[in-house]
A and B are shown apart, each in its own frame.
Chain A
Amino acid sequence: MTTLQIGHSPNRRAPALSGSVLWIILGLLIVAPVGSFLLLATSPRLFGQGPQYFTLRFFSQALSGVTGQGIVNSLWVSLVVATLAVAMATTLAWLVQRTNVYGRRLWPILMWLLFLIPTWMMTLSWVDVLQPYGSAAALGVSTSWLYGEFLGPFGIITVLSIASLPFAYFVVSAGLLGLGSEFEDAARIHGAGRAATLRTVVPMIAPALLSAFAISFAETMSDFGVPFTLAYHSHFPMATYTLFASISTYPANFSVAAVIALVLILTTVPPIVLQSVVTRRRSYATLSGRAREVRRREFSTPARLAVSAAVGLVFVIGLGVPVGGAVLGSFLRNLGIYAAGPVRFSSVYYHQVFAPSIVGKGFAAPLMLSNQLGLIAASATVALALVFARRLMLRSSHWSQRLTDVMLMGSVAVPGVVLGVGYVFFYNQGFLTTHVIDLYKTMPLLVLALVATALPGQTRFFSGPVAQIQPSLTEASRVHGAARWRAWRTTSLPLMSRVMLWGWLLTFAKTISELPISQILYPPSQEPLSVTIQAYLGNFQLGTGTAMTVVGLVEIFVVIAAALGLYRVVTPRGWQRIGWSGVGA
C-alpha cells in the first residue's frame, strides 16, 4: 500500500483564467515596484536619479569595497545559517513527531512565538542582557566572557539560525508528517542500521528539507535586524546593511542599493530551482482520510530529560532571553548605565507610555492604527496567499507557474526598505498620479505594501498544507452535489482553517512590528506603532521605547490567545481534529 499518491492534474481552464488576474496582482504588488527599484541599477535616469540611461559602473562600485565584502559575508553566513536551521529543525520535528520527548505540545507553540520575535529585538535584548551593566549584571550574573563572543560571527550566526528555525521547522515538520513510519520500519527490517535508515528516509523528505533550506537562506539573506544591530556593532558588514547605508546618506545612491538588491534576489534562485525540480518529481499530498498513528521512539527517562532540556535551551536563547530581557530592561531604572549603587527597579517607563514626555507622541492612537492595519493586511494576505499557494501546487508544469514560483521566492529576499522605496518610485510616477490614481502617502498604499511584503512568505507557508490536501477530497465534494462555494467551505476551509488561522496571526503580528515600509509609506499624521516606538528608541528614550515594545508584544499575545480561544469555541468539533504539523490537533 502506498501513502504517496500523485494527484491528477485538475481542469486546465481554471488556472488559465485566474492566472492573468493573479499576474496583475503580483505585478502591481511586487514586480512593478521592486522592478522599478532594480532598474536603477543600470538606468538611474529613468527615475531622475542620475544622468545615465544605461551604465554598469554601479555594479563594479557595489561589488567592491565594503559593499562587496557585505555581499560575501551575507552569502556565507546565510549558507551556514540555512544549514544549521534545517539541521535543528529536522531534529526538532523528529523529536516532536516521533519520540516521547517532553513538551510535545509546548514546543510547536513556542516555535510560533519565536516566529513573532523580530531579529532586531532578539539582538537588542541579548545586548541589553549581556552588556556591561545590563540586565544579567543587574541580577548578579557576570557576562563579560560572552559579550565579546556575542558581538561577532558567533552571535550573528546564533541569532539568525534561531530566527530562521521556525521557517525551517514548519516546512520540515509538514514533510515529516507525510512520511509514514512504515518507511523507517521498512528500512530497519531490511537490516539497515540507524545511519542507513536515515539514508533511506532523508531522501524521502528531501523536498521538504530543500524547501526549508531555500526559505531559511532567503530569509537570512534579506534579514535586516541582525545586520543593522549585531553585525553593525561587530563591524561585520552584511548586504542588507550596506544597501541601507548606501541610500541613507544624502543624496542617496539608489543605484548601488539596486545592485545589492539584485544580488540578494538572484542568490535565492538556485535553491528554489533546485527545490522545485526535486519537489516536482515527488508528490507530498498526504492529507487524506487514511492517515494513521505513527509509532514513537521511547527514550529512557534520563535521555528524555536531557533531550527535552536541550530543546528547551533553544527556546531560552531565542525566546526566553529576548522577552525576559526586554521585560526586565523595561523595569530597570538604569539599564546599561554604570552605577555604584544597588539596582533600581521602576515602572516609570510604563507611566511614560501612557503619558508621553514628547508632546503629541501618544501611544494609544498608533496602537489602534497598527491593529487595524494588521487586521486588514493579514486578512488580505491570507486570502491571496491561499490562491497563490493553490496555483503553485498545481501539477501542470506551465512556465508561468514556475515563474510565479521563482518570483515569489525571490520576493522573500527583497528587503522591506527596497520594497518601500520601490513603492515610492512606482506609485509616485507623474503619469500614474495625474492620470490613474494617486495612492502615494495614503493608507491604501501602505496596506498594499504590507500585504506585498507578507505575501511571498505566507504563500510558501500555505503551499505545504495546500499540497497535502488530496485533490480527491474536493472532487468528492463536487461529485456529491456541492457547488464550488459549498465544496470549498465544507472541504478546503475546514482542512486549512487551523493553518489559515496561524498564518493570519503571523501576518497580523509581523505587520504590527514591521518598520521599514511603514516608515517610508505611512500617511502623514497617521503613525503606526512601530514608527512611534522607533521615534522613542531613536530619541534616546530607550526605557519608554522598550516599555512600549513590551506593551505592544503583550497586546499581540493577547490577540493571539483570544483568536485561538475563539477558534475553539466557534469551529465544529471535526475541524479541530484536523491536526497540522505546525501545532498539532
Chain B
Amino acid sequence: MKINHTMKRVSLTAAVLAATTAWLVPTSIASAAGPTLVVYSAQGYDKAAVAAFNATHPGFTVTLNDNSTGPLLQQIQAEGHNPKWGVLWVDGATAFAELDRQGLLAKNIVPKVSFNAVGRANIPADGSFVPTGLTATGALVYDSAQISKSQLPKTWAQLSAAKYKGMLGMNDPTQSGPTYPLIAGLMNYLGHYTKGSTSAAVKAGESFLTKLKANGLVINATNGPTLGAIQSHAIKMAIIQSSAGYGQELTASPSIRVDYLNPVTALPGVIGIDALMPKTVRAEAQKFVDWVLSRAGQHVMQTGDPQGDSLFWPVLNGEKPANKVLPPLASVPMQTINPYVWGPLENSVNSWFTNNINNG
C-alpha cells in the first residue's frame, strides 16, 4: 500500500516532467539562420500584411515587431547604429525625417506607382520614405447625441469660445503618436509658417493651446480614453485622428461623427527602409515596400483592420477608401507640414506640453 503510493507519486512526477519537457522543446529551438527582414510596425493591419506577403513571396520570411509607435521608435533609437529593424511602418512623417537626418534611412525607395496629389505632397525629395495611406490628425470627432453638427465650431479659433467651455478633449503627445503632428500642424497653420524660423509659429500654437486649456481642455493619454470620455459624456468632442473617430462610429457608438475644421493636418502612414542593413535583406525590404504599394498590398491594408487603421484614404490614383463612412478626400481641408522642419521640434514641444498643459 505504501509502496503503491510511492510508485504512484513517482510516476505522476515523471509524467508531469515529461509533458513539460516535451512542451518546452519547440520553444527552445529558436531562431532561423542568417539575416532576416524585421518589419517594425504600429499599423493595425500589419499582421495581415506580413502574412499575405510571406504567402506570396516564398523563400524569404518577413517577421514582425508589432508595437505602438512610441516603443518602436524608442527601440530604434536605442539600437542606434546597430539596427535590428529592416522596415519601419508607422503613422506620421516627422519621426522619419529625424531618422533620415541621422542617416538611418535608405534613399530613393519610392516605388514607381501613380500617387495622387496628397500622396505626392508627402514624398520627400530624397525619396527616403513613402506614404502608404492617409488619415487626418486633428479631426473633430464629436458625439451627435450631445452636440449637433450645426452647433460645432467652424474655425479653430472658435474652440476657445466660452460656448465650448469644458466640451473639448485631446490626447497627450507623449503618449499618442498622432498628437504631435496635430500640434505641429496647429503651429504651422496658426503661425502662418512658410519657411525659416519656427519660433513665432511655436508661440502662436502655444498661446492657442493655453487658451484651450483655460477653456477646460481635457487631456487623456490616447484615443481610447479620449473616446471613452466622449461616450461617458464627460466631453462632447475631441481633436484626434480621423480613423479613430470612424472606427468608433462603426463599432461601439453609432452617434459618433467626424468633422473637419480648416485645416486638418495630413497624417500619412509612412514606410521606410533601414540604410545600414545587408544588401540582400535590403532588396527584400524594397520588395516589401513595393508590395505594400501594389494593388494586392493596398487591398490587405484596407481589409486587415476593418474598424481601425484600415479606415484611411489611399494615396494611389485609382484606389478608393474601403468604407463609405469616409468622405471623398477632396472634401477634406488638408494641409501637409514639412516633417524636416517640425520633426526636430517634437521633443521640446512635447515637454512644453507636459509642463504647461498636462500638468501646469
A residues with a Cβ closer than 8 A to B are: 47-49, 65-66, 69, 131-133, 232-233, 235, 237, 242, 245-254, 334, 336-338, 357-361, 369, 372, 375-376, 421, 424-425, 428-430, 433, 440-444, 519-520, 522-525, 527, 531, 535, 537-543, 566, 569-570, 572
Contact = CB atoms under 8 A, between A and B. Distances in A.
B95 interface: yes
B261 interface: no
B359 A66 contact: yes
B75 A520 contact: yes
A375 B24 contact: yes
Given A66-B354, A537-B224, A538-B222, A430 B82 contact: yes
B27 A372 contact: yes
Nearest to B306: A357
27 contacts: A47-B78, A66-B359, A131-B232, A132-B232, A132-B233, A249-B346, A249-B350, A249-B351, A250-B73, A251-B77, A252-B73, A254-B78, A337-B253, A338-B145, A359-B47, A372-B27, A421-B74, A424-B78, A428-B84, A519-B71, A520-B74, A523-B30, A524-B63, A538-B224, A539-B44, A566-B16, A569-B12
A337 B232 contact: yes
B308 A539 contact: yes
A1 to B, nearest CB: 37
B303 interface: yes
A138 to B, nearest CB: 12
A261 B285 CA distance: 37
Contacts, number: 185
Interface string B140-154: 000001000000000
Contacts of A433: 82
A525 B41 CA distance: 11
B9 A359 contact: no
Interface in B309-360: 346-347, 350-351, 354-355, 358-359
A527 B46 CA distance: 13
A528 to B, nearest CB: 12
B75 A424 contact: yes
Contacts of A541: 251, 308
A360 B41 CA distance: 14
Contacts of A569: 9, 12
Interface hub of A249, A369, A375 (most chain B Cβ within 10 A): A249
B34 to A, nearest CB: 12
B80 A337 contact: no
Nearest to A340: B145
A336 B232 contact: yes
Contacts of A252: 73-74, 77-78
A245 to B, nearest CB: 4
Nearest to B69: A250
Contact of A358 (B44, B227, B354): B44
B346 A250 contact: yes
A248 B232 contact: no
Contacts of A336: 228, 231-232
Top 9 nearest A-B pairs (CB, nearest first) are: A360-B47, A524-B63, A359-B48, A424-B78, A248-B70, A525-B63, A337-B231, A48-B80, A250-B73
Interface hub of B31, B220, B247, B306 (most chain A Cβ within 10 A): B31
Interface string B219-244: 01111110110011110000000001
Contact of A250 (B24, B47, B66, B98): B98
Contacts of A424: 75, 78-79
A155 to B, nearest CB: 16
B135 to A, nearest CB: 14
Contacts of A421: 74, 78
A493 B94 CA distance: 58
A132 B46 CA distance: 35
Contact of A540 (B13, B27, B175, B244): B244
A385 B95 CA distance: 42
A369 B26 CA distance: 10
B84 A245 contact: no
Contacts of B355: 65-66
B74 A359 contact: no
B57 interface: no
B51 interface: yes
Interface in B248-301: 248, 251-253
A132 B233 CA distance: 8
Nearest to B223: A540
B38 interface: yes
B215 interface: no
B68 interface: yes
Contact of A359 (B12, B45, B225, B252): B45
Contacts of A372: 23-24, 27
B307 interface: yes
Interface string B193-235: 0000000000000000000000000001111110110011110
Contact of A249 (B16, B63, B79, B174): B174
A541 B244 CA distance: 11
B89 interface: no
Contacts of B51: 359-360
Nearest to B76: A250
